[in-house]
Amino acid sequence: RRALGSLGKSRAKFISAEESTGITFDDFAGQEYIKRELQEIVRILKDDEEFQDKGIYCPKGVLLHGPPGTGKTLLAKAIAGEAGLPFFAANGTDFVEMFVGVAASRVKDLFASARSYAPSIIFIDEIDAIGSKRGGPDIGGGGAEREQGLLQILTEMDGFKVSTSQVLVIGATNRLDILDPALLRKGRFDKIIRVGLPSKDGRLAILKVHARNKYFRSEEEKDVLLQEIAELTEDFTGAELQNILNEAGILTARKDLDFIGRDELLEALKRQKGTFETGQEDNTEIPEDLKLRLAYREAAVAVLACYFPNPYRPFTQTDIKSIRSQPNMCYNDIPGKVFARKSDYVNSIVRACAPRVIEEEMFGVDNLCWISSKATLEASRLAEFLILQTGMTAFGKAFYRNQSDLVPNLAAKLEALRDEYMRYAVDKCSSVLREYHLAAETITDVLLEKGEIGAEEIWDIYKTTARIPQPAVSP
């Protein structure tokens, strides 16, 4: 009985105001607009009464969503640090238990503790673990329990008196789409902020934050090196950028050098790509069957790049010497892009589908492997961008940069339209690959034989083998 007595207690980690999280908004770089929005919330949290006199109340909940490693936890801690408030950190999975009543009583316990320290902050990471749509498939069991927990969160949030004992609830998730809509209603998570992958400038700013306590030969050299790394790290998260600098520091120490140099940074970058995605050390022999898959993938990417050439991003060469979940094709980014048309955006979605489409075609849907898995992610990200941020689609002319202006059923509408674009892109991509199957086969052969292939040879093959139709397959 004694052991079970602690079951209903929240496992949340508590950081008091005195210890403070020690983290401020200066620790988060890039995406300045996110900081501005959150700074406003901190001002209201701190100066409750002044704002209440003006009829302004702090939101009850802030939901941060975006890919892992983009700094959502960091932001939550920064809010606590800036406001100087006690901080209760929990994880959605803490509430998912098979024992009846445990989830709900853990939620109750957490909110009771937070209220006794109010004003205070509750942070629930991976809130989707407990807050996913009700009535959906019960993956992993414990569905009824989770529902109880979710209901308890809703009750607790509704129960806050607006004027006193302010407790701000911050949730984080990378699955906004599966959250129960009840959580997103007014008076619950009123503020929804997207934390996305950093832009090039954002990456530079993040690198600078994490270079603060590292040694470089000079400020000038540091600036040049970080600029270079920022350019080479498209699609990297803040966490990955931080890792590069740490790794470079370790390599520098191992070589007994005083300063981090270009070699160390580039090697750290390579390791980051490698270890994060394959767990393999350099020079490991790539098994033959994986080489074949890689060669097909690169060939498909090459064919699509020829079919929809991008004058501002010509490809230069590709190889099958390393295994990454993203294509190895290299590009030469030419500055001075003036404008992109809707068709350019759509074509980029079609191109992004290539790794997945060829793998499914060659090896069958049951034999897909992880080297094509990022392709669908990338394609749907591009589709989402087109739909939400350009105003060029049937979705409407609005710009939903961070979706804080969440319209009713935004997720459902987005999903429906994205589905249409994805369907179109996959179909188009398959038909291009069928039409140019000979080019794809030939490029694959060259890659298997030589390990690499340059742009010129790719173009030659593409042009000479073009448009020899594949024999029709009877149904």
CB of 246 to ligand ADP, least distance (A): 10
SS3 category, 311 = coil
Q: Binding to ligand ADP by residue 206, rule CB under 6 A?
A: yes
Q: How many residues bind ligand ADP (CB under 6 A)?
A: 16
Residues 6+ apart with CB under 8 A from 381: none
d(CA 254, CA 199): 32
Binding map of ligand ADP across residues 7-46, x = CB under 6 A, - = no contact: ---------------------xxx----------------
Q: Which is nearer to ligand ADP, 71 or 355 (CB)?
A: 71
Near ligand ADP by CB under 6 A: residue from 21, 148, 242, 372: 242
The pair of structure tokens assigned to 189 is 């998570």
Say whether 298 is catalytic: yes
437-450 and 455-464 are packed helices; what angle lies between their axes, rounded to 10 degrees? 140
Q: Which is nearer to ligand ADP, 30 or 149 (CB)?
A: 30
Q: Any bridge partners for residue 217, and if so which?
A: none
CB of 23 to ligand ADP, least distance (A): 8
Residues 6+ apart with CB under 8 A from 300: 354, 355, 357, 358, 433, 440
Asked whether 168 and 88 are in contact (CB, 8 A), the reply is no
Near ligand ADP by CB under 6 A: residue from 35, 60, 72, 273: 72
Q: Binding to ligand ADP by residue 236, rule CB under 6 A?
A: no
DSSP state of 302: H
455-464 and 288-307 are packed helices; what angle lies between their axes, rounded to 10 degrees? 70
Handedness of CA 335, 337, 343, 349 (dihedral sign): positive
The pair of structure tokens assigned to 177 is 């789409």
DSSP state of 415: H
Near ligand ADP by CB under 6 A: residue from 73, 148, 326, 328: 73
CB of 377 to ligand ADP, least distance (A): 16
Q: Which of 82, 147, 156, 298 does the annotation list as catalytic?
A: 298
Residues in 270-309 that interact with ligand ADP by CB under 6 A: none
Near ligand ADP by CB under 6 A: residue from 238, 249, 327, 355: 238
Q: Which residue is nearest to ligand ADP (CB)?
A: 238
CB of 310 to ligand ADP, least distance (A): 28
Q: Binding to ligand ADP by residue 79, rule CB under 6 A?
A: no
Q: Binding to ligand ADP by residue 362, rule CB under 6 A?
A: no
Three-class DSSP labels, 62-107: EEEECCCCCCHHHHHHHHHHHHCCCEEEEEHHHHCCCCCCHHHHHH
Instruction: Centre a 10 Å sphere on the Cβ of residue 116 and count the other Cβ atoms it contains.
Output: 11
Q: Which is nearer to ligand ADP, 209 or 446 (CB)?
A: 209
Q: Which is nearer to ligand ADP, 246 or 465 (CB)?
A: 246
Q: Binding to ligand ADP by residue 74, rule CB under 6 A?
A: yes
Near ligand ADP by CB under 6 A: residue from 118, 151, 239, 410: 239
The pair of structure tokens assigned to 471 is 């024999």
Q: Which is nearer to ligand ADP, 149 or 238 (CB)?
A: 238
Q: Which is nearer to ligand ADP, 70 or 113 (CB)?
A: 70
Asked whether 432 and 303 are in contact (CB, 8 A), the reply is yes
Q: Which residues are catalytic?
A: 298
Positions that interact with ligand ADP (CB under 6 A): 28-30, 68-74, 172, 206, 209, 238-239, 242
